[in-house]
């Protein structure tokens, strides 16, 4: 009995030493990193990289230019089901923790030990905001500690809604799409408000690995990831049995969708692009400029119709109506005959018997 008690005391002392050491390391890291932390206040006025968009005077989109496809959206415009899908995939304790979730880190470690892979990840959404807006992708202890301290400070200064809005508008979701609205347009040609539950879960599965779970490039892996998220949503009571069964039976419908233009005025759009590039350089493609032209969509459509009708009518009067002359080429030709044929073809003369 005394020996058992001694062992308990020994292991208790070891645990106390380990905990004290961890606290000391954490405090030392904070004292080293804290003076270098960026100002979280910058997030209140962040300017997301958005493409140049060109409109007619009555608001019809006639051109979009930029490497990154992004359409920032307010958190109040995001359906709650969409938010639930992301929370199930990335951080289901988002509303309980204050930037760092110890439970989530332990769960990720447990998944790694038992399955050999991490399904839900150990970083919170707040930590991902800290990394995406302020830090690089390097894998070092200094960067990880900086990410943790920044996450705690972000939670102290911003609301949960503000943090979610920053996250959902910044994340890369494959195919040059940044943010959920751009991803919805890219994969489904719709706004996020028009997506069904299965489509929302598909997009929510992309942040973990946009290339590996891309529904266009890797539909099978994307399908598995989507169904896992739907099961998580069901387990967490975000959706009921009926919604789960309907969503999990949905086929994959994602495909590549380009930018949907409201009006065909390519010549005008190119004129504006050239002028904006001359004035602002590469910033023209990234600073989110919106240019309103003097083009009236109704008049532009009428002009386009008139031109097309005119071309068709001209072709009917003067267009190609078959060959004026047919030449029969001999099946076998020697060098002399080939040279003679070449000269006749150049001169437009007749060939054949």
Residues in the chain with pLDDT < 50? 22-23, 25-26, 29-32, 350-353
pLDDT at 115: 60
pLDDT at 348: 59
> How far, in Å, CA of 62 to CA of 322, rounded?
38
pLDDT at 338: 77
Q: Chain-centre distance of CA 151, in angstroms?
A: 23
pLDDT by residue (tens digit) across 188-221?
999 999 999 999 999 999 999 998 999 999 999 9
With vertex at residue 32, the alpha carbon angle to CA 30 and CA 34, rounded to the nearest 5 degrees, is: 55
HEC letters along the chain: CHHHHHHHHHHHHHHHHHHHHHHHHHHHHHHHHHHHCCCHHHHHHCCCCECEEEECCCCCEEEEECCCECCCCCHHHCCHHHHHHHHHHHCCCCCCCCCCCHHHHHHHHHHHHHHCCCCCCCCCHHHHHHHHHHCCCCCCHHHHHHHHHHHHHHHHHCCHHHHHHHHHHHCECCCCEECHHHHHHHHHCCCHHHCCHHHHHHHHCCCCCCCCCCCCCCHHHHHHHHHHHHHHHHHCCCCCHHHHHHHHCCCCCCCCCCCCCCCCCHHHHHHHHHHHHHHHHHHHHCECCEEECCCCHHHHHHHHHHHHHHHHHHHHHHCCCCCCCCCCCCCCCCHHHHHHHHHHHHHCCCCCC
Q: Can you tell me which residue has the tokens 């946009």?
A: 210
Q: Which residues of the chain form CATH 1.10.3810.10?
A: 70-248
In this structure, whether the domain defined by 70-248 belongs to CATH 3.40.50.11930 is answered with no
pTM of this prediction exceeds 0.75: no
Q: Which residues pair with 65 in a beta bridge?
A: 52
pLDDT by residue (tens digit) across 114-141?
665 555 556 899 999 988 888 766 666 6
> How far, in Å, CA of 59 to CA of 76, rounded?
23
pLDDT at 351: 47
> How far, in Å, CA of 108 to CA of 127, rounded?
15
């Amino acid at each position: 009995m005394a020996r058992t008690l001694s062992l308990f005391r020994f292991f208790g002392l070891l645990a106390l030493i380990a905990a004290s050491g961890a606290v000391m390391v954490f405090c030392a890291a904070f004292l080293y990193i804290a003076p270098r932390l960026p100002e979280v206040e910058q997030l209140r006025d962040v300017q997301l990289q958005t493409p140049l968009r060109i409109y007619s005077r009555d608001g019809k989109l006639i051109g979009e230019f930029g490497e990154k496809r992004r359409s920032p959206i307010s958190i109040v415009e995001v359906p709650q089901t969409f938010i639930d899908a992301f929370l199930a995939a990335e951080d289901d304790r988002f509303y309980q923790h204050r930037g760092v979730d110890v439970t989530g880190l332990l769960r990720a470690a447990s998944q790694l030990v038992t399955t050999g892979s991490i399904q839900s990840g150990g970083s919170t959404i707040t930590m991902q905001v800290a990394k995406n807006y302020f830090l690089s992708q390097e894998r070092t202890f200094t960067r990880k500690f900086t990410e943790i301290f920044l996450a705690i400070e972000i939670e102290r200064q911003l609301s949960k809604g503000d943090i979610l809005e920053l996250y959902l508008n910044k994340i890369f979701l494959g195919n040059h799409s940044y943010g959920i609205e751009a991803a919805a347009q890219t994969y489904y040609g719709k706004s996020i408000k028009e997506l069904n539950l299965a489509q929302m879960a598909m997009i929510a599965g992309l942040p973990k690995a946009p290339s590996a779970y891309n529904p266009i490039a890797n539909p099978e892996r994307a399908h598995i990831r989507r169904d896992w998220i739907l099961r998580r949503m069901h387990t967490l009571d975000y959706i009921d049995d009926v919604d789960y069964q309907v969503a999990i039976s949905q086929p994959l419908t994602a495909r590549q969708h380009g930018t949907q233009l409201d009006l065909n005025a390519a010549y005008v759009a190119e004129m504006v692009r050239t002028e904006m590039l001359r004035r602002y350089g590469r910033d023209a493609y990234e600073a989110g400029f919106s240019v309103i032209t003097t083009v009236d969509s109704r008049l532009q459509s009428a002009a386009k119709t008139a031109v097309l009708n005119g071309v068709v009518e001209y072709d009917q009067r003067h267009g190609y109506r078959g060959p004026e002359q047919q030449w029969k080429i001999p099946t076998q030709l020697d060098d002399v005959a080939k040279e003679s044929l070449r000269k006749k073809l150049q001169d437009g003369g007749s060939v054949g018997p």
